[in-house]
Amino acid sequence: MQYGILGPLEVHLDGSPIPVPRPRRQALLAFLLLHGGRRVGTDQLIEALWDGEPPPTARAQVHSGVSALRTQLPSAFGRQLSSDACGYRLTVPEAALDATTFRARLATARELAAGRQHDQAARLLRDGLALWRGEALAGVSAPFAAGARTCLAEERFAAHELLADLDLAAGRHAESVPRLTALFAEHPARESIAERLALALYRCGRQTDALAVFRRLRGVLAQEYGVEPGSRLAELELAVLRQAPSLAPAPPAGPPATRRPAAPAATPSHQPCEPAAPVADAARPAQCPDRGARFAGRATELAALDHFHRLAAVGPRTGDGAAPAPGPRILAVTGPAGVGKTALALHWAQLRADGFPDGLLHADLHGFDAAEPACPAEVLAGFLTALGVPAGQVPPDLAGRAALYRTRTAGRRLLVVLDNALGHRQVRPLLPAPGAALTLVTSRDRLGGLLAEAGAQPLPLGPLDLGDSLAALGLVLGPERLAAEPGPARELVRLCAGLPLALRVAAVRLAAEPATPVAELVGELTPEDCRLDALWLPGDDHGVGPALDHSCRRLDPGQARLLRLLARYPEDPVDTDTATALSGESPARLRLALRALEARHLVEQAGPGRWTLAPLVRLHARRSELLAQLAGDADWVLAERAVALS
């Protein structure tokens, strides 16, 4: 089956069109195609189709719409569409959807252009642009369509602009004029199109027509937006008026054996119309934050990081004397909230910075905090700038930025730290080119997709042991204060469950109150209903409770309910049969929910078919249940009855 969204929505089987009746089903199919290969939750579909104002029957309409698509479309669609308790996933081969084919060709063309293979890049761009049949998602009426249409249109503009740059550099000015004229007529306020069209016209000997382009652009911008064209357009217009020699076409290329794509003379007015090419290396980036000297413990994990670095650099030894192959270059540091993943990654980066002579890149991806998760395209823009790419040469789309990023990192001995990742899909575009660069990813998610798809190696973190916990307290309080109260200090470690975040908050509280005995804070932490409030710094989002809130905020209602049920059950660990009876779910749905909780490190396996909660996670889940009770949450009532029946 073939699908098309670069124009009106189309479905074909063996070249024959398959109609998709009803606007709602068309929108549903379009949204699934836009998220091809990714799970789309029912709530996400409802938001996309009704934009915060769903009817009471919205959930039923989504389910019935999917069922209708399964019935009306050929059986191949049913095999591509999978569903589970959490939503739907439509897995379509890249060549079967015009948008993914277009994006792949654009990304490859950018790489070819950066490598000076201009003719091959231009052919790919023409093939990709030929897939467009009009406005993307034409006729699809749903709230999500406008934003998706805009994103796809920007990628189309990026392809047109790069193709124009390649054609102008190769002397194909006359070929560019019809295409750019049509684009400018459709988008008369688009400065990048006006710039390239004016240059193409001038090189065709049409100076008057080139100046008319500037006049029309200036009139549109003044009338509709009250602004003047940018400085680059003004410089180019002046150069056209003066017939500057720098605007003349480049001289013909040399013989085939020595042929190299020629570039016109570089002037400020002319540079924007050149194809992007690798630029000279920037100063060595050093983006990793300085965590200071306060770091205790983790000797085993630091040694594992060193071993991984050595192994990745030289590759595993072989028994036949052959040269070692390069090892994997991605390490996933995972663990529950507050376990010290970021501190470990940044501390090791600070220790081993000299081992990465080409620099250190760092990004906080905000996967599990109060901010919205970082957009990979924005992160890549920052990385490219740090790597020496001028802002004007940063591609506008994610695929283009990722391709240029891989080109710029190829062969460079960099350390890339991707901190607080939401999941592997957020990370994948940010991975540098395979080779010399080393990537550390930290996340509360287990990042199973990154391990499976990119060959990342896991480094799971657990709580600190007693000795390391006391050392962490001593860094803030001083060893003398702990030595004065050894029993309370050990009890404080137990109440904090060896969690570095809890230990740090407790230590900061004691450091701010030098006269307060450790035993007094232990007494405050001992009642379970007060512990999370005590492990929080007033006026800040820094504490165990807020950290666990961020871990739980993306759970669906069924997963959150199961977590509350497990927290209330008096026995620990809980076996799968008991959890099934408590939840009232089928074994299959229960396993899905347990795996989702395990992936976020909210439950752990204590053995085959046995599940346990960390002490502070248990307290947080019980408090969440109390809040649900006070709010009259029906889920709480069900949970209460289930535990009572057990």
Contact 498, 464 (CB under 8 A): yes
Give the model confidence (pLDDT) of 19-75 as tens digits.
988 889 999 999 999 888 888 888 888 888 887 788 889 888 988 998 999 888 888
Quote the CA–CA distance of 591 and 259 in Å, as a whole number.
62
State the pLDDT at residue 641. Answer: 43
Q: Which residue has the higher pLDDT, 570 or 353?
A: 353
State the pLDDT at residue 242. Answer: 85
Q: How confident is the model at residue 280 (pLDDT cuts 50, 70, 90)?
A: very low
H or E element, residue 19 = none
Quote the CA–CA distance of 436 and 165 in Å, as a whole number.
32
- Nearest to residue 129, comparing CAs of 272, 1, 274, 6? 6
Q: Does the pLDDT of residue 634 top 70, yes or no?
A: no
What residues contact 540, with CB distance under 8 A and at least 6 apart? none
Among all chains, which residue has been given the structure tokens 């200090």? Answer: 489
**How far, in Å, are 155, 241, 295, 303, 304 from residue 298 at the CA level?**
45, 68, 9, 9, 10
Quote the CA–CA distance of 75 and 128 in Å, as a whole number.
29
**How far, in Å, are 288, 305, 312, 365 from residue 457 at the CA level?**
21, 11, 11, 20
Quote the CA–CA distance of 420 and 444 in Å, as a whole number.
7
Tokens of 636: 């709480």
Q: Does the pLDDT of residue 417 top 90, yes or no?
A: yes
Tokens of 373: 């998760």
Tally DSSP H helices, then E strands, for the chain: 29, 14
Quote the CA–CA distance of 373 and 353 in Å, as a whole number.
27
Give the model confidence (pLDDT) of 291-314 as tens digits.
655 788 888 898 889 888 877 655
Q: How confident is the model at residue 196 (pLDDT cuts 50, 70, 90)?
A: very high
Contact 473, 449 (CB under 8 A): no
Q: Does the pLDDT of residue 255 top 50, yes or no?
A: no
Quote the CA–CA distance of 345 and 362 in Å, as a whole number.
11
Give the percent of the chain with pLDDT over 70: 87
What residues contact 308, with CB distance under 8 A and at least 6 apart? 331, 457, 459
Q: How confident is the model at residue 452 (pLDDT cuts 50, 70, 90)?
A: confident
State the pLDDT at residue 624. Answer: 67
H or E element, residue 364 = strand 360-364
State the pLDDT at residue 9. Answer: 93
Q: How confident is the model at residue 431 (pLDDT cuts 50, 70, 90)?
A: very high
Cα 316-320-321 angle, rounded to 5 deg = 70
Quote the CA–CA distance of 81 and 69 in Å, as a whole number.
10
Q: How confident is the model at residue 328 (pLDDT cuts 50, 70, 90)?
A: low
Strand partners, 610: 575, 607
pTM beyond 0.75: the answer is no
Q: Among 31-35, 53-57, 134-138, 491-495, whose mean pLDDT is lowest?
A: 53-57
Give the model confidence (pLDDT) of 285-296 as tens digits.
888 887 655 788
Q: Which residue has the higher pLDDT, 99 or 609?
A: 99
Contact 628, 636 (CB under 8 A): yes
Q: Among 46-55, 440-449, 461-470, 534-543, whose mean pLDDT is lowest?
A: 534-543
Strand partners, 82: 89
H or E element, residue 492 = helix 486-495
Q: How confident is the model at residue 250 (pLDDT cuts 50, 70, 90)?
A: low
Quote the CA–CA distance of 309 and 325 in Å, as a whole number.
14
What residues contact 553, with CB distance under 8 A and at least 6 apart? none
Q: Does the pLDDT of residue 332 top 90, yes or no?
A: yes
Contact 460, 448 (CB under 8 A): no
Position 416, amino acid: V
State the pLDDT at residue 443. Answer: 93
State the pLDDT at residue 313. Answer: 59
Give the model confidence (pLDDT) of 540-583 as tens digits.
567 788 888 777 877 888 888 888 888 888 777 888 888 888 88
- Nearest to residue 600, comparing CAs of 575, 621, 577? 621
**How far, in Å, are 161, 165, 172, 307, 645 from residue 192 at the CA level?**
7, 11, 18, 50, 69
Q: Among 141-150, 226-235, 263-272, whose mean pLDDT is lowest?
A: 263-272
Q: How confident is the model at residue 127 (pLDDT cuts 50, 70, 90)?
A: very high
H or E element, residue 417 = strand 415-421
Mean pLDDT value across the chain: 82
User: Which three-class secondary structure state does DSSP give residue 15?
Assistant: coil
Q: Average pLDDT, stretch 128-150? A: 89
Where is mean pLDDT largest: 210-224, 521-535, 585-599?
210-224
- Nearest to residue 405, comparing CAs of 439, 452, 448? 439
Quote the CA–CA distance of 241 and 433 in Å, as a whole number.
45
Contact 190, 183 (CB under 8 A): yes
Strand partners, 273: none
Give the model confidence (pLDDT) of 359-405 as tens digits.
899 999 988 887 778 889 989 988 988 888 877 778 888 888 888 89
Q: How confident is the model at residue 124 (pLDDT cuts 50, 70, 90)?
A: very high
Q: Does the pLDDT of residue 212 top 70, yes or no?
A: yes
Q: How confident is the model at residue 625 (pLDDT cuts 50, 70, 90)?
A: low
State the pLDDT at residue 372. Answer: 79
